[in-house]
Amino acid sequence: MNDPNVLDQAALAPYLEANIPGFSGLAAIEKFKSGQSNPTYLLTAASGRYVLRAKPPGQLLKSAHQVDREFRVMKALAGTAVPVPRMLHLSDEDSPIGRMFYVMDFVDGRIFWDPALPEARDNDERAAIYDALNDTLAALHDVDVEAVGLGDFGRPGNYFERQLARWTSQYRASETGTVADMDRLIAWLETRMPEDDGRVSLVHGDYRLDNLIFAPDRPKVLAVLDWELSTSGHPFADIAYQCMQWRLPHSSGFRGLGGVDRAALGLPLEEEYVAAYCRRRGLTGIGNWTFFLAFSFFRLAAICQGVFKRALDGNASNPEKARTYGEAAKLLSHLAAKLIDKEA
């Protein structure tokens, strides 16, 4: 049985040479192990190294895997304070691999998979890496969406109301059994929905340490990756999502910072990180924090359930790993249930 994630090099090479100026001599295609949603590949050619990111094969959920949105937002951010790879080409669905993909420059640098940063030289470098992470997020939320041509990148109205409806629908479409904590979480979020305060910015949607590439020799961000979930929306979604991840157990597959002695490693506490973000953006603080955190748990649980369902259907980018996501969705909704119980 052929692996649907293996690309046809003979068919792809002439297409890339015809559509990307200067591209020549495709020699190898290597699939990255990371990237559960959209399979991503390193292309090695005589003209250099490139990255190809494609929709997954098979039947897909509506509005998911929009690689064209990723391409559009990164192209729009070129020249802003938010570093992104150079976008080279976007195919249509009728491509040599039978589905939409885009190609961008390969950015050579460090990706930190463990948020405790064991590979950092010392505590000063760890602190500087997190400060750069914070600074880049603030810069993203300061981008003028109209000025960069993304004024129509999201729908008007209450961002969290929209997102709750969207991800509840996605979760129900990929549901494989009843999860009581998830049902309770959805009901809690519906009844605690905050009023729209009018804040709108470009939202990454999956802003975390391992979606950034850092310079090989210093704590400088070279590129922000994985924009599939980006939209114009509420900036507090990104900062809460990042802090939610740090609450996840470090010993779990999420590799959060839960249980890690941050002070001993020179890592910022959640309060310090949020305060630094607020200073950069001229904010006095962020209210309704529990709602934003609980929403982040819910949304990630819905995403994990979708990955798990694709694994059952045979469409996952990394099927073996994807099957663990069913348990991850249960863990996330359980942690969120404990969080909202504290608020009760």
88 touches 105 (CB < 8 A) = yes
pLDDT at 102: 97
67 touches 54 (CB < 8 A) = yes
What's the mean pLDDT in 256-277?
A: 95
Going from the C-alpha of 295 to that of each of 64, 117, 255, the distances in angstroms are: 19, 27, 20
Paired tokens of 121: 């030289």
Going from the C-alpha of 93 to that of each of 67, 97, 229, 294, the distances in angstroms are: 11, 9, 20, 36
Percent helix, strand and coil across the chain, each rounded to 5? 45, 15, 45
Rounded CA gap, 38 and 65, in Å?
Answer: 6
**Helix residue spans in 105-260 (DSSP H):** 123-141, 159-174, 180-191, 236-247
End-to-end CA distance of the chain: 53
Virtual CA dihedral for 295, 301, 303, 308, nearest 10 degrees? -170
What's the mean pLDDT in 283-306?
A: 94
Paired tokens of 66: 């929009």
pLDDT-derived band at 1 (thresholds 50, 70, 90) equals very low
6-15, 52-61, 63-72, 145-154: least confidently modelled range: 52-61
pLDDT digits (tens, 9 = 90+) for 44-93: 999 999 999 998 876 554 555 689 999 999 999 999 999 999 999 999 98
Rounded CA gap, 233 and 202, in Å?
Answer: 6
Rounded CA gap, 260 and 71, in Å?
Answer: 36
In this predicted structure, the answer to whether residue 254 has a pLDDT above a threshold of 90 is: no
pLDDT at 328: 87
311 touches 325 (CB < 8 A) = yes
pTM: 0.90
Rounded CA gap, 124 and 133, in Å?
Answer: 14
pLDDT digits (tens, 9 = 90+) for 155-177: 878 999 999 999 999 999 998 88
Nearest to 82 by CA among 155, 37, 147, 156: 147
Selected residue with higher pLDDT from 228 and 222:
222
Residue the block writes with tokens 């996952």: 316
pLDDT-derived band at 34 (thresholds 50, 70, 90) equals low
